[in-house]
Structure 1
Amino acid sequence: MKSGKHAISGNWASLLLPIEADDSIEFDKLGDEIDILIDAKVDGIYSNGTAGEFHNQTEEEFDRIQLMLTERCQKAGMPFVIGACQPDSTIMLNRLRRAASLDPAGIQVILPDWWPLTDREAIDYLNRASEIASGIPLILYNPPHAKRVLSPKELGAILAATPVVTGAKLADGDANWYAAARAHLHRVALFLPGHHLATGVKEGVAAGSFSNVACLSPRGAQRWTQLMHEDINAALEIEQRICKFMDEHIVPFRQKAGYSNAALDKLLAAIGNWGPVSTRLRFPYRWIGEGEAERLRTVAKQELGDIMI
C-alpha cells in the first residue's frame, strides 16, 4: 500500500445519513455515528460520498454535516475528508470554498455531471477548484455511474495538468486496467472499491479505499486493511469471500430490482448493525427493507466472521 507516498491512505469509513420517516436528517444520531467511527480507529472518515446522499441535501444541511464532522474529528485527532460533490458546477465550487475553510485532510469533487466535460473543460474546472481549495489536496471521484468514466490514460492526462488533484476514487478492472493504472496514474493516490482493496495492494496500485467494507464493519475493515501489510495472501482469501458475499447477496438488489449504490451501502451498514443508521434513503429513492438486513446479518456472520466485528 502506498501509505508512505500519499498522506491520505488506508481504510476510510463513509459517513451515512440517519434519515427519519419525515425525510429529515437525525443529527443526534449522526453525531453518535461519528463517535462510533472514531472509536473504531479507522484510518479516516469521509463525508458526502454517494452513500452520504450528497445529491439530496440542502446547502444548510451540507454545512451542518461538515461542521459536525470537523468538530468531532478535530477534537479526537481523526483525519477527515469532506465531499464537496454536487452535480451542479456552481454549487460544487461554493461547497468547496466552504469545505476548505474547515481545513480537512482533503476534499473530494466530481466532474460536473449534467453534460460530460471534454478533457480541456475538465482541466479548466479542476484548476479552478484547485484555486478555491487554497492548497488542500483534491480527490477526484469518478465512479462507474459518472456520465464520463475516464480510462487510466485519459485520467492521467487530465491530472497531469491539475497537480493539486493528488488522488482519485474509481473502480478498478482486469489485469490490463492495472497495467494501465501503473503506467498512467503512478503519481496519484488511487482509492479502489473496498471489496477489491487487497487486490489493489497486491498490484501495487491502491493507496486505500473509501470503503464499502467499512460500511459493513468499520472495525473489521480496519483489521483487514492492516492484515494486507502483514499477510497479503490471507487478506486476498478474505477478499474472495467478501466478493462472493457481495455478488450473491448484495449486487442482485441493484441488478434485479434497480436499487441505487447508496441503498446497497446502507444495507451493508444495517447488516453490520454497528451504529444508528437504518436502510432508509431520502425521497424519492427507494431503500431495502430492514428485514433483508436481519436475514443477511446471519449469513454475513457465517461467511465473514473475520470482518463482522
Structure 2
Amino acid sequence: MKQRMAIGGNWAPVLLPIDEDDSIDFGRLATVIDRLIAASVDGIYSNGTASEFHNQTEAEYDSIQTLMAEKCRAAGMPFVIGACHSDPSVSRERTARAAALRPEAIQVILPDWLPVTDAEAIDFLRLTVDAAGDVPLILYNPPHAKRVLSPDELARILAEAPTVVGVKLASGDAAWREAVRRHLGDIALFVPGHRLATETREGVAAGSFSNVACLDPRGAQRWTDLMRKDIDAALDLERRLCHFIDTHIVPFREKPGYSNAALDKLLATIGGWGPIGTRLRRPYRWIPEAEADRLRPIARRSMPELFAD
C-alpha cells in the first residue's frame, strides 16, 4: 500500500545549548545546526522532547524555528518543525506559524493535561490540520503520553485526518507489528533510533527521529545507509548500541530519574560532535558532563564504526 508520506530515514534533532543564566545560546545553536547539515543526515527536526519544547517562550520558539528553517533552506536540507505543546490552543498557534516556514511536515502531540477521547483527538487534529494548511502533519505519540494509542486506535482516528501522514511512536513485539501491518499500512512510522534496524528488517519503519543521531549524526546516517546494503551488519551494530543504552544510559532515567531530554544531551556530549553540553533549562535536572567523559571511551570501544571520521 502506498504511504501517505514519502520521507523517511535518519532525522537528527536540534538540541538547545543552555547557558548558566538559563538562556538559549543562539550562537552555539547556529553551530549545532550547521554541523547537522554538514553530517548530510536525511533530515533535521526541531522541538521534540530533545529540543525541550515544553520549556520555551513563544518568542524563543519562533527564533529557533526561523534559524533552523533559514539554514536548512539555504543548504537544501529537509526539515520538520515540532509544534508540540500540552495546551492545544498554543499548539495550533505554533502550527500556523510553523506552516509559514514551509517545512516538509509539522509534528504535534495530542493535548496532554487531560487524556483525550477518540472524538476529542479527532477534533484536535482537524483543528490543527486547518492551522497547517497544505503542510502535512506527523503525530508524536510517545510511551509517556496520557493516552498511548494502539495501531487500530491510530487508524480509526487518523482516518478522519488524512493530512496526518506519519506517526512517531515506540516499537513493539510481533503482535504489535502484525497490528501495524493490518491497520497502518499507509502511515509512515518513525520508531526509536536504536531500534531502527530491527523495524526496517520487519518492514514497519519508515525511519526515525533519532536518539542515535544525538550520539553522532554522521554515524547514525552511515548506519541508516548500511541497513539498505547489509542488514545483518546493521543489526549487529544495533545489538551493541542497545546494550550500551540499556547498560549505561537507561539507568539515569530509572534512578535518580533524569528526563529523556537529559539522556539525549548526555548522548550528544558523549559523541562530542557539537557545542551543546548536558545542561537543561531549569527546573529540570541535567547529568554532569563528567559522566559523558566517563562513558565516551566505552561507547567508542563498543561501537567504533559509529564514530569513525
In structure 2, the residue matched to 1:124 is 123
Q: Counterparts of 1:235 and 1:125 in 2: how far apart (Å)?
A: 39
With structure 2 as the length reference, what TM-score do the two structures score?
0.98
1:6 and 1:207 in contact (8 A); partners too: no
1:291 maps to a residue whose letter is A
In structure 2, the residue matched to 1:31 is 30
1:130 and 1:164 in contact (8 A); partners too: yes
In structure 1, the residue matched to 2:148 is 149
1:13 and 1:218 in contact (8 A); partners too: yes
User: What are the within-5 Å matches in structure 2 for residues 56-67 of structure 1?
Assistant: 56-67=55-66
In structure 2, the residue matched to 1:232 is 231
Q: Which runs of 5 or more residues in structure 1 are unaligned?
A: none
In structure 2, the residue matched to 1:55 is 54
In structure 2, the residue matched to 1:221 is 220
Q: Which runs of 5 or more residues in structure 2 are unaligned?
A: none
1:262 maps to a residue whose letter is A
Q: CA deviation at 1:6?
A: 3.2
2:151 and 2:184 in contact (8 A); partners too: yes
In structure 1, the residue matched to 2:194 is 195
**After TM superposition, where is structure 1 displaced by more than 6 Å over at least 4 residues in a row?**
2-5
Cα root mean square deviation, aligned: 1.2
1:3 and 1:10 in contact (8 A); partners too: no
In structure 2, the residue matched to 1:204 is 203
In structure 1, the residue matched to 2:71 is 72
1:269-291 Cα distance to aligned partner (Å, 9 max, x none)? 00000001000000000000000
Q: Counterparts of 1:153 and 1:7 in 2: how far apart (Å)?
A: 22
Q: Counterparts of 1:130 and 1:8 in 2: how far apart (Å)?
A: 19
1:131-159 Cα distance to aligned partner (Å, 9 max, x none)? 11111110000001111011111111111
Q: Counterparts of 2:55 and 2:272 in 1: how far apart (Å)?
A: 24
In structure 2, the residue matched to 1:282 is 281
Corresponding position: 1:15 with 2:14 = yes
1:3 and 1:207 in contact (8 A); partners too: no
2:213 maps to a residue whose letter is A
Q: Counterparts of 1:68 and 1:305 in 2: how far apart (Å)?
A: 33
Change (3 A) 1:225 1:244: same
Change (3 A) 1:4 1:155: closer
In structure 2, the residue matched to 1:164 is 163
In structure 2, the residue matched to 1:95 is 94
With structure 1 as the length reference, what TM-score do the two structures score?
0.98
Q: CA deviation at 1:7?
A: 2.5
1:14 and 1:215 in contact (8 A); partners too: yes
